[in-house]
Amino acid sequence: MSTLSEAYGDYPIPSDITPLDFNSIDKVPETHIWSQPDLQTHQYHPQDPIIPVIDLTDPNAIDQIRQACETLGMFQVINHGVPSVLVNKVESEIRRLFGLPIQEKCKVLRSPTGATGYGTARISPFYDKGMWHEGFTIMGSCLDDAKTLWPHDFQGFCDTMDAFQNQMKLLAHNLLRLIFQSLDATQEEINWATSSHGSQGALQLNSYPSCPNPDGTLGLAAHTDTLLLTLLHQGGGVNGLEIFVEGSGWTPVKPVEDGFVVNLGDLMHIFSNSKFPVVYHRVMVNQSKQRISAAYFCGPPVESVVAPSSKFRNPCFRPLVVKEYISLKAKHFNKALSLIGQE
Ligand SMILES: O=C(O)CCC(=O)C(=O)O
Ligand SMILES: [Fe+2]
């Protein structure tokens, strides 16, 4: 059976994926200076939408989730059951990783056909400017990379990331069950999204160093996430994440203590037959603080077929194998969804 890692590995990234050495520069280079409209910023408006914060122990949580999925495709959850001690450990391991000198981090640079390791964002080749960002991708065990980075001190990193991936998978599956129920999905469809063997996950660790000219560059340019659902921890309460809302523009997603951001991915847009929106988001940087985040992407088996739920009589997307969608996204980025649309 194919894995997510193989599905991504089939599409080598053509360009150099080495991030800048952020420790050694005091000025944003021309290669990383963006122009309008990419930099368009947010003007606060009293009618601006607020990203809902949903308490998962609230008996009405499912209704609030349905509402949030139908309007924004994004919400935050609290009382989700993930121990805060673990989240704190994840944060400190992320700081330990990105705090290494660039020569060390480059020892685990993603290979051109690889999906895991250190490097620039996967969306980088679709933009001609660089992003103020470095990332590290984990799918399953990160033992080899951790041993390379810390030959005598790798266990803490691996144990923490393993435990975190397990917790993320549990939470993602609980949320997927609620979201699928809110769509009246069949039990078979729920099993497809939440099977404990076949379902696929990836953990993306992100660092956005403090930036001498934050108004001229971007941490992560506008994109949608590919799989069904993403869980995101925004580290240290540092702002930066924004969602694009029709009619309001780029809207900040303020970190909530002990909360996770949940955002729907392209496969969920397909499964919901466009009932749930496509969720464009991006990350801005700031002058004084490093921002870190951990994003867990959750999807169905890569060999399975994704299609609008059987309850929709007029499907607006054609059915296709999940890894075929991953390859369309790797080649056509933001145009992938329109390529599978049908009347
Ligand atoms: O760092 C963030 O807040 C967002 C990260 C993100 O969108 C991603 O990794 O896909
Ligand atoms: Fe994202």
Best CA proximity match to 306, nearest among 337, 271, 333, 330: 271
291 labelled catalytic: yes
Q: What is the pLDDT of residue 1?
A: 60
Edge-to-edge strand order for the sheet containing 281-283? 220-223, 281-283, 241-245, 249-252
Residue 47 has pLDDT above 80, yes or no: no
Task: Compute the average pLDDT of residues 178-207.
Answer: 94
Q: What is the pLDDT of residue 181?
A: 96
CA of 211 from ligand 1 middle (Å) equals 17
Which ligand 1 atom is nearest residue 135's CA? Answer: 9
Q: What share of the chain has pLDDT > 90, as a percent?
A: 85
Q: What is the pLDDT of residue 9?
A: 75
Structural domains of the chain sorted by starting position, each given as residue range(s) with its CATH number in brackets: 4-9+58-108+119-338 (2.60.120.330)
Task: Compute the average pLDDT of residues 30-54.
Answer: 85
Residue 170, φ and ψ in degrees, nearest 5: -60, -50
Note if the pTM is more than 0.80.
yes
Residue nearest to ligand 1 atom 5, measured at CA = 295
- Straight-line distance from the first to the last Cα atom of the chain, in angstroms, rounded to the nearest whole number: 33
Best CA proximity match to 317, nearest among 294, 295, 336: 336
Residue nearest to ligand 1 atom 3, measured at CA = 241
Q: What is the pLDDT of residue 202?
A: 97
**Nearest-angstrom CA–CA distance, 290 and 236:** 9
The confidence band for 244, taking pLDDT boundaries of 50, 70 and 90, is very high
Which ligand 1 atom is nearest residue 230's CA? Answer: 10
**Nearest-angstrom CA–CA distance, 142 and 154:** 10
Task: Compute the average pLDDT of residues 158-173.
Answer: 98
**Nearest-angstrom CA–CA distance, 252 and 65:** 19
Residue 270: its H or E element = helix 266-271
Residue 112 has pLDDT above 80, yes or no: no
Task: Compute the average pLDDT of residues 60-68.
Answer: 97
Which amino acid, one-letter code, is at 143? L
Report CA-CA distances (Å) from 276 to 180, 226, 229, 264, 297. 12, 14, 12, 8, 17
Residue 222 has pLDDT above 70, yes or no: yes
The ligand that comes nearest to the alpha carbon of residue 219 is 1
Task: Compute the average pLDDT of residues 19-45.
Answer: 87
How much is the mean pLDDT over the chain?
A: 94
Task: Compute the average pLDDT of residues 311-330.
Answer: 96
Q: Is residue 37 reached through a cis peptide bond, with omega within 30 degrees of 0 on the bond before it?
A: yes
Q: What is the pLDDT of residue 340?
A: 97
At 250-262, the pLDDT tens digits run 999 999 999 999 9
**Nearest-angstrom CA–CA distance, 84 and 242:** 24
Q: What is the pLDDT of residue 331?
A: 93
Q: Which conformational region is residue 237 in: left (phi greater than 0), alpha (psi within -120 to 50 degrees), or beta?
A: left
Q: What is the pLDDT of residue 39?
A: 86
Q: What is the DSSP string of 162-219?
A: HHHHHHHHHHHHHHHHHHHHHTT--HHHHHHHH-TTT-EEEEEEEEE---S-GGG--S
**Nearest-angstrom CA–CA distance, 322 and 320:** 6
Residues whose CB is less than 8 angstroms from the CB of residue 181 and which lie 6 or more positions away in sequence, other chains included: 62, 190
Residue nearest to ligand 1 atom 8, measured at CA = 295
Protein residues within 5 Å, CB atom, of ion ligand 2: 225
Residue 46 has pLDDT above 80, yes or no: no
CA of 78 from ligand 1 middle (Å) equals 19
Beta bridge partners of 245: 249
Q: What is the pLDDT of residue 190?
A: 97
Which amino acid, one-letter code, is at 215? D
Q: What is the pLDDT of residue 14?
A: 65
Q: What is the pLDDT of residue 201?
A: 95
CA of 186 from ligand 1 middle (Å) equals 31
Residue 161: its H or E element = helix 155-182
Pocket of ligand 1 (CB under 6 A): 204, 206, 220, 225, 232, 234, 241, 281, 283, 293, 295
Q: How many CB atoms lie within 10 A of CB 195?
A: 13
- ipTM (interface predicted TM): 0.99
